[in-house]
Structure 1
Amino acid sequence: MPRWDITPNGVGAVVSHVGDVMKVLDDIVQAYSGDLEGAATSAGTLAPGGASGEHKGQTGLVAAALAEFMEGTADELQFIGVRVGKSVNGAVEATVAYQEGDLEMAAEVQNKASGLVMPDMPTGWEAGRL
């Protein structure tokens, strides 16, 4: 009997691993924001004499550049999780479709082997509801 070359348990293990990695990635993205802010604060200003204590609240060129960089990469960082989530959901949906297709193929092969003619059987996910 024909079978799909996919194992739902294997897909589940990969999906679980991706979830673990995404948790770590989320921590990294959160740290990224704080690290850039810290770097901008520590970068100092172009104040005369290099005094930083008396110019609180002012930012320099490096801080401005880091702020622009952070603003420019915010959308990309924000949508990493969205893209990964859609990919994982697609893998799960495809696995379910493969399983349903496998069940349909098995039923068709068994019906052909037994010589039975099945009248207008529902296909896809509806077949499992009978």
Structure 2
Amino acid sequence: MSLRKFLAIGALAAAVSFGGAALAQTAAQKTLVDQAKAAGTVGEQADGYVGFRVSTSDAALRAAVDAMNAGRRAAYARSAADAGTSADVAGARMFESQLLPRIQSGQWYRNAQGQWVQR
């Protein structure tokens, strides 16, 4: 597959990913995740999913992260099927091309080596 075609599929996957996440979670859940990102409790991960940087017993936040990741998982599976690759590869490429550039200063992300890094 050409790089141009892959990037086009990646851009489509980004739209689907965030659209799918929006369908799987409520606005209140998205707000919870956004607040947790700002606080450093959760962050984006190199696999394309949101993960917990700090342990929490907040059931509502756990449900919000689960809903977001479920939407992303479905989007990555669709994108991978269209691109002839795996969902893992689609998630990692989404992180590199769409998610990493959107991480705001002060927020955390987990790199491919498994280390949490603050932007």
Q: Could you tell me the TM-score, scaled by structure 1's length?
A: 0.29
TM-score, normalised to structure 2, is 0.31
Q: Which has the higher helix share?
A: 1
Name the one with the larger strand percent. Answer: 2
Larger gyration radius, structure 1 or structure 2: 1
